[in-house]
A and B are shown apart, each in its own frame.
Chain A
Amino acid sequence: MDISSWDGTISLAEFHAAACALVEKWKKVSSASPPWSWVSCPKQPWVASHEVSVEGYLSLENIILVSIKEEHDELPSFPQKEETSCSDKEESIDIATLVQGQSDHDEICYYDLHIVYSAPYRVPVLYFRVYYSDGEPLQFEDIKKHLPAHSAKTLLDSKWTFITQEEHPYLNRPWYKLHPCGTGEWMKLLFQGDVSLARNGAAIEVYLISWLSFVGQVVGLRIPYEMLNQL
């Protein structure tokens, strides 16, 4: 791939190839971290496609974010009125049941990451959502609070990162995503800047990993060092 004339974008087939490469490498290199998996999606009949089932996305789910003790206000803005506090003796107190402290569960949240291909921009896009164990999604302001410190900084400072909330293309629910309009540009810069990348013929497999190494910082996802070394 000639870096000088390349615009930093990839095709759907290339995305699929890069995704498979990432899944494999990840499994090999980092069995400790939860694995990425490819979720295949049935083709939408109205989309003309000559490609064979490359429709789908990469998924990494249920990652636990344990936040440091901080002020945690009552979860939902939705008022919890009249829980008809259980009528006398709904259940007799059972001494064999552990009564757990209330704060423990609240601060734990989970996040899901999906890497989806964007046809109009021809680049991968990171979709993510963060939620409490009862499924309640966190608002973006709260997500920022849970990110590791340097990620939050990257997010705010970088002119490449713009988080928006949009419909997930396959799940049809609002997810946060890192807007792709800058991606082509900085991918090109990334590849140009790294001599070994620029020379390397196997650029496609490396594309997604390089992309993830940058984008992952924004959401506090650590890419195992070995992944990057195997280029």
Chain B
Amino acid sequence: MAGHDSGSILVFAQFQSAVDEGFWHRLSSLKLNKLGIDESPIPITGYYAPCSHPQVSNHLTLLAQSLPSESNEQSSAAAMSRGNRNRCPIRGTLYNTNTIESFHKLDKKSLLRVEAKKIWDDIHTGRAVEDSALLSRFLLISFADLKKWNFHYWFAFPVLVLDPPATLVDLMPASQYFSLEEAESVSAACNEWRNSSLTADVPFFLVSTDPNSHATVKHLKDWETCQSDGHKLLFGFYDPCHLPHNPGWPLRNYLALICVRWNLKSVRFLCYRESRGFADLGSSLVGEALITVPQGWRDHQSLPNAVGWEHNKGRQVPRSISLAKSMDPTRLAISAADLNLKLMRWRALPSLNLNAMSSIKCLLLGAGTLGCQVARMLMAWGVRKITLLDNGRVAMSNPLRQSLYTLDDCLNGGEFKATAAVKSLTRIFPAVDAEGVVMAIPMPGHPVSSQEEDSVLEDCRRLHDLIDSHEAVFLLTDTRESRWLPTLLCANTNKITITAALGFDSFLVMRHGAGPFVSSHDFNVEAANALSAVENIAQADKDERQRLGCYFCNDVVAPIDSTANRTLDQQCTVTRPGLAPIASALAVELLVGILHHPLGIYAEGEVANSLTSESSERPLGVLPHQIRGSLSQFSQMALVGHSSNSCTACCSTVVSEYRERGMEFIIQAINHPTYLEDLTGLTELMRSASAFKLDWDNETDLDEDDYVDI
């Protein structure tokens, strides 16, 4: 057809979208609480304002309030919030799907046409002249994955396509176009328009300049009057775009309106932009466009072509955003927990080694009163890898003193403690890596029949492997003899071992010394295991720095069956309730102390007040060997005990016997209680003791009964 050669095609900059996090939060909440699987379109409101930055375009923004509220008093027609000068409200429609497949399957072409038709209708009926913001209607399709907190979405800003496209006669900064007086007057008029609450959010307007260079800004519906005035007329609009050579997207439908309603073929337009809250005629543009009205456009019924899907980095694809970090409760819990520990480090203990805590693997033997509390304390310190071993089930009396269990765990015979504990820990802190092992610990003095032997051996091996795969072991069982095998295994592999034991109103918390077969200067546990026993047998005796003792080092008898021949109340858990939490807390603090001591497991035992000056290397203070406390006195002592060469659990004789004979040795110890005493020479020692009157005073307050514990 009679094409215009003069002038190039008018090229528009696309509208850009911006979605505030709050919008997705609100949509998630709406979906969960109100919409459910309902996929019907939702009326929403977008906001934009004229460009106010020379390098950055303004965006069509969605906020939390863009969505209807959840309450039912909401009227169905989008109750558009009254905007302000920074937020011109624009009507939009949201199609939110329930699956990613249906998101991709949406018929985008037809959805676009539906919105375009609304604009087309508004133009033809004249509604768009009354409420010009309707010209910028938009469309949003989305899929909200509420399990992973990912949001897929795609905006469309439908525009009616002129065919042939409009051409540009000229385009220049407004300051160039207007005379000085005109410019001043136009600025003033625009500022007035922008400052009045009645017009601040009306994005399309007319600028009429009389022969005296006096400009006024008018509503679109005043066009007829302006026509008859014969004054210079400019079609102005809030331009979100910042580019110096291209007008923004709203101009497209504006031109469509102008040519359909007012039949103009040449249009002078003003791309209104601002700076610092005022009209900026330097960045605002004035241009002239030539339109060839397409044939079909007279006819309301025939809808022109529409385009407008937003480009994503130059491509026509949807966008997505992941808000897991700010919405996923587990992640929020993790960062809150980390914050707490970091605060501690920042404010009080700069040398706190939080990495050591989060990477250490702890094995808790016993998931009872002590086990539950120790597990909780470990988590509070940032320990994430916890394994609990216990073969018992949760009994009705347990939840009161065993802090991980509730009544539900007791029903139907009771859940296995190890399993229930893990569930409970995960409920408290989802990021914990907790494992439960249901198993009994083989004990000396509890002989096994030959049928049971295989399964007992299996348990021994399993225990050996568990201890091997963890770095710290807590002995929290309810009998002395159940601590024997773990102590031996830990001494053999040189693991950090912490024992807690309760009497009726007294407790003992201690860390075992290093095993007998590792050189004091070797801190590498794996290397220690690799050393051959033979090579180092003599080491222990020659070692100047005597190692600290284990739980059994102070015994003069081997562990025997302490549960037989005891009265009911001695068999049951009879301790003052306050003891377990105190002892558990101390046990964990002791572990933390070890982890922060430069010598770790080889650290000497210290007593209270032994550090003379504040040492930055010792941020946590003294590191005792044993803490013995008494509730009846409300007192506590830090003591040191060295290893005994006749210890039934950790002396070199016993450990090397284990290394040589393995399970055979274990079974023998289990079935013949005096075997250990004979092996270590304790039997001999006892005989000679009765011959001389040796003073065992420092052990008298620790007879058998005091070791009855949980």
Cβ-defined contact, B19 with A134, below 8 A: yes
Instruction: Give Cα A66 to B56, complex, Å.
Output: 8
Q: In this assembly, does A102 line the interface, its C-beta being within 8 Å of a C-beta of chain B? A: yes
Cβ-defined contact, A90 with B316, below 8 A: yes
Interface bits B41-59 vs A (CB < 8 Å: 1, else 0): 0000000000001011001
Q: How far is the CB of A224 from chain B (nearest CB, A)?
A: 13
Cβ-defined contact, B321 with A64, below 8 A: no
Contacts of A181 in B (CB 8 A): 343, 347
Cβ-defined contact, A135 with B318, below 8 A: no
Contacts of A95 in B (CB 8 A): 9, 11, 165
Q: How far is the CB of B358 from chain A (nearest CB, A)?
A: 18
Q: In this assembly, does B322 line the interface, its C-beta being within 8 Å of a C-beta of chain A? A: yes
Q: Is the interface of B mostly helix, strand, loop or mixed?
A: mixed
Select which of A76, A108, A174 is within 8 A of B335 by beta carbon. Answer: A174
Instruction: Give Cα A86 to B17, complex, Å.
Output: 20
Q: In this assembly, does B127 line the interface, its C-beta being within 8 Å of a C-beta of chain A? A: no
Instruction: Give Cα A134 to B21, complex, Å.
Output: 9
Cβ-defined contact, B21 with A108, below 8 A: no
Q: In this assembly, does A171 line the interface, its C-beta being within 8 Å of a C-beta of chain B? A: yes
Cβ-defined contact, B21 with A105, below 8 A: no
Interface bits A137-173 vs B (CB < 8 Å: 1, else 0): 1010000000000000000000000101111000101
Contacts of A92 in B (CB 8 A): 305, 307
Known contacts: A133-B16, A135-B19, A174-B335. The answer to whether A76 contacts B317 by CB under 8 A is: no
Contacts of B166 in A (CB 8 A): 96
Instruction: Give Cα A100 to B339, complex, Å.
Output: 42
Instruction: Give Cα A95 to B25, complex, Å.
Output: 37
Cβ-defined contact, A171 with B314, below 8 A: no
Q: In this assembly, does B391 line the interface, its C-beta being within 8 Å of a C-beta of chain A? A: no
Cβ-defined contact, B276 with A173, below 8 A: no
Cβ-defined contact, B21 with A133, below 8 A: no
Contacts of B314 in A (CB 8 A): 99-102
Q: How far is the CB of B52 from chain A (nearest CB, A)?
A: 9
Which A residue's beta carbon lies closest to that of B148? A78
Q: In this assembly, does A229 line the interface, its C-beta being within 8 Å of a C-beta of chain B? A: no
Instruction: Give Cα A23 to B16, complex, Å.
Output: 31
Q: In this assembly, does A136 line the interface, its C-beta being within 8 Å of a C-beta of chain B? A: yes
| A residues contacting the other copy or chain, number (CB 8 A) | 44
Interface bits A164-206 vs B (CB < 8 Å: 1, else 0): 1111000101100001010000000000000000000000000
Q: In this assembly, does B320 line the interface, its C-beta being within 8 Å of a C-beta of chain A? A: yes
Cβ-defined contact, B13 with A100, below 8 A: yes
Q: In this assembly, does A84 line the interface, its C-beta being within 8 Å of a C-beta of chain B? A: yes
Instruction: Give Cα A108 to B18, complex, Å.
Output: 12
Q: How far is the CB of A184 from chain B (nearest CB, A)?
A: 13
Cβ-defined contact, B316 with A131, below 8 A: no
Among the interface residues A92, A134, A166, which one has the most CB atoms of the partner chain B within 10 A?
Answer: A134
Q: In this assembly, does A52 line the interface, its C-beta being within 8 Å of a C-beta of chain B? A: no
Contacts of B165 in A (CB 8 A): 95-96
Q: How far is the CB of B275 from chain A (nearest CB, A)?
A: 9
Instruction: Give Cα A100 to B252, complex, Å.
Output: 17
Known contacts: A90-B109, A94-B161, A100-B314. The answer to whether A135 contacts B252 by CB under 8 A is: no
Q: In this assembly, does A51 line the interface, its C-beta being within 8 Å of a C-beta of chain B? A: no
Select which of B9, B59, B316 is within 8 A of A133 by beta carbon. Answer: B59
Known contacts: A80-B320, A91-B316, A98-B12. The answer to whether A134 contacts B18 by CB under 8 A is: yes
Instruction: Give Cα A94 to B332, complex, Å.
Output: 45
Known contacts: A76-B322, A90-B109. The answer to whether A99 contacts B311 by CB under 8 A is: yes
Select which of A80, A98, A133, A162 is within 8 A of B246 by beta carbon. Answer: A98
B: residues with CB less than 8 A from A are 9-14, 16-25, 53, 55-56, 59, 104, 108-109, 112, 150, 161-162, 165-166, 243, 246, 252, 276-277, 305, 307-309, 311, 313-326, 332, 335-336, 339, 342-343, 346-347
Question: 6 pairs across A/B with beta carbons < 8 Å?
Answer: A78-B322, A91-B108, A96-B12, A134-B19, A135-B323, A136-B321
Given contacts A94-B161, A135-B20, A181-B347, 20 further A-B contacts (CB under 8 A): A80-B320, A91-B307, A91-B309, A94-B307, A95-B11, A95-B165, A96-B166, A97-B12, A97-B14, A97-B307, A100-B314, A101-B314, A106-B313, A108-B56, A133-B59, A135-B24, A135-B321, A166-B339, A167-B332, A174-B325
